[in-house]
Amino acid sequence: MTDDAVRVRGLRKSYRDTTAVDGLDLDIAHGEVRALLGPNGAGKTTTVEILEGHRSRDGGSVSVLGVDPARAGIAWRREIGIVLQETADAAELTVAETIRHVARYFPRPRSLDETLDLVGLAEKRDSRVRRLSGGQRRRLDVALGIVGRPRLLFLDEPTTGFDPVARRQFWSTVRGLDTTILLTTHYLDEAAALADRVTVIDAGRVLAEGDPATLGARDLATVTWRDGRERTADPAALVARLTAVYSGAVPGLEITRPSLEDVYLDLIGADR
C-alpha cells in the first residue's frame, strides 16, 4: 500500500523501435487534481492507459490506489472513473436512463439526484441524449464517470471542441468533485484553473513538475526600465526603490510575468 493515490517509478513502454515512456516517475496525492501536460507523442496517453490498467508496461513499478493495475481485479476497477475524450452513447435513452444503467455496475453508486446535481444536469434528466448540447454531453460523460463514487477519476481532454462558455461551466463542475483527478489537456489555461499541480512530459520523460502558479519560476516578475532589467519575487519593492532613485516616475517601466503557456513552450522547446 502507499500513501499516494498514484505512485510510479521508472515506468517504461516501447512500441517496436519507438520509446513512448522512458523511465517516468509520478506521485499523485489523494484528493489532488493533477494535470499531465505534453505535446502530441509525449507519452501521456500511454502513461494514462497503463495507470487505468488498459495497457501493459515493459518496466517500472506502478501503484494506483495501492494496487498494481496490471494485476487488478473488478473490485479495483470499481474504484476508478474514466472519462474518455470520445465516447459512444445510447442516443435514444434519456439522461436519467443512461445514468441508472451505468450505476448498476457499482456496489455503492451515487443516487441519480446527487449525480445530476453534481454535473448540473438536473433539468435535463428526462431529455434524450441526442438532444443535448456538446457541453451537456460532456457533463453526462462526467456523470457516468463519477456515479460509482470513484476514488480516482481520469479526465482525458475533457473540453476539446467546447466553446468558451461551455468550458467555464465544465470547469465549475470539476471543481465541485470531491475526488482525486488526473487530467490530460492541451489547454494551458485549463490546467492553471483546475490543477493543484502540473507535470510536463516529453519523449516519455518528466521535464518539470509543480504548482501551476510557480512552475518554471512563474512567481518571479521581470521588471524592465530604461536603464536596466531585473527578475524579482517582489516587484513592488523594486519599483519603490526605482521611484526613489528617479525621484518620480520610472522611465520605460514595464512589469511582466511568464504565463503557464510561456513556461510550457520553453520546457518542451517549441522552437526546436
Which domains, ranges and CATH numbers included, belong to the chain? 1-79+151-156+179-218+260-272 (3.40.50.300), 81-150 (no CATH), 220-256 (no CATH)
Q: Binning pLDDT at 50, 70 and 90, where does residue 104 land?
A: very high
How far is the C-alpha of 8 from the C-alpha of 249, rounded, in Å? 53
Which pLDDT score is estimated for 207?
92
For 150-171, what is the mean pLDDT?
A: 85
Q: Binning pLDDT at 50, 70 and 90, where does residue 162 land?
A: confident
Q: Is the pLDDT of residue 195 over 50?
A: yes
How far is the C-alpha of 155 from the C-alpha of 153, rounded, in Å? 6
Which ranges of the chain does DSSP label H, i.e. alpha helix?
Answer: 44-51, 74-77, 95-103, 112-119, 134-146, 164-175, 188-194, 235-245, 260-268
Which pLDDT score is estimated for 1?
43
**Cα angle, residue 142 at apex, residues 141 and 146 outer, rounded to 5°:** 125
Q: Is the pLDDT of residue 137 over 90?
A: no
pLDDT per residue as tens digits for the range 240-266: 999 999 999 999 999 988 888 888 888
Q: For the chain, percent helix, then strand, then coil, each to nearest 5?
A: 35, 30, 40
How would you classify the pairing of strands 180-184 and 197-202?
A: unpaired
How far is the C-alpha of 200 from the C-alpha of 222, rounded, in Å? 23
Q: What is the pTM of this model?
A: 0.82
Which pLDDT score is estimated for 25?
96
pLDDT per residue as tens digits for the range 24-80: 999 999 999 999 999 988 999 999 999 999 999 999 999 999 999 999 999 999 999
Which pLDDT score is estimated for 72?
94
Among candidate residues 141, 179, 159, the one with its CA nearest the CA of residue 65: 179
Which pLDDT score is estimated for 164?
84
Burial-class residue 108 by CB neighbours within 10 Å (0-12, 13-18, 19+): exposed
Q: Between helices 95-103 and 112-119, what is the axis angle to 10°?
A: 120
Which pLDDT score is estimated for 227?
92
Give the DSSP letter string of 207-222: EEEE-TTTGGGTTPEE
Q: CA–CA distance from 138 to each of 199, 237, 265 (Å)?
A: 24, 46, 28
Q: Binning pLDDT at 50, 70 and 90, where does residue 272 land?
A: very low
Mean pLDDT of the chain: 90
Q: Is the pLDDT of residue 135 over 90?
A: no
